[in-house]
Amino acid sequence: MNDKSKPIYSNLGIAEIFLWISIILSAFFAIFFSIMLTLSYYGIRSRFETEAVLILGIIGFFFVGATIETLVIVRKMREAIMNNDIVTLKALNSKSISIIALFLGGIIPGIILLYLHKRINALEETDSRIDSVEKIEGLLQMYKEELISKDEFLERKNAILGNIDPVQLNIANLRQIKELFGKGEISQDEYDELRKKVLSKY
């Protein structure tokens, strides 16, 4: 993740929150009308016609399904940004999803997705090609700003440290790694392992 993708990640997070709110509200109405339909079926008086209750219940469940599908896509988009996978991010970036979110998932997430559509398409694959040390520093910054949780930070940090290619590392990186170790952001074992990887080039 870099300076171009960070705002996109944050805005997608806001859209995700509003999608959850939309799911909860849609599910509430769908369940409410399902109960009304059940009462009507057993002959208990209802202020609504049976046909109207059935239609409204179906619409409610349809809204829930469409919003959940949109939420899943938004979460995958955020994961793609976390993994610096611009190709997957662009593949998931669809105007049709934005329109579905606008009409079925609530106005706010739809507006956010429409706003981000061009910005995501403008990203270049080279924007994701940052070295592993910069990735860790970026993760650390997001964690400090509370954009990601501690578990997310540790999970991604461990994944990056486990997949570092020695070819990527140089003396400047070793200085950065030493600074991270000095701040207590990586452990002694992690620091020693990274030093070994740098030395393996020579």
What would the pLDDT profile of 39-56 be if each residue is shown by its tens digit? 666 666 555 556 666 677
User: Which pLDDT does position 128 carry in this prediction?
Assistant: 47
Identify which has the larger pLDDT, 17 or 188: 17
Asked whether 86 and 38 are in contact (CB, 8 A), the reply is no
pLDDT for residue 182 is more than 60: yes
Give me the mean pLDDT over the 153-169 stretch: 69
> Residue 126 — very low, low, confident or very high, per pLDDT cuts 50/70/90?
very low
User: Which pLDDT does position 169 carry in this prediction?
Assistant: 61
DSSP state of 97: H
Asked whether 92 and 8 are in contact (CB, 8 A), the reply is no
> Residue 132 — very low, low, confident or very high, per pLDDT cuts 50/70/90?
low
Report the share of the chain in percent with pLDDT over 90.
1
In angstroms, the CA 189 to CA 99 distance is 49
Place of tokens 């694959």: 125
> Residue 202 — very low, low, confident or very high, per pLDDT cuts 50/70/90?
low
User: Which pLDDT does position 39 carry in this prediction?
Assistant: 65
In angstroms, the CA 38 to CA 131 distance is 59
pLDDT for residue 17 is more than 80: yes
- CB within 8 A of 130, min separation 6: which ones? 2, 84, 138
Asked whether 56 and 29 are in contact (CB, 8 A), the reply is yes
Asked whether 74 and 117 are in contact (CB, 8 A), the reply is no
User: Which pLDDT does position 163 carry in this prediction?
Assistant: 65
pTM of this structure: 0.55
Place of tokens 């030493």: 178
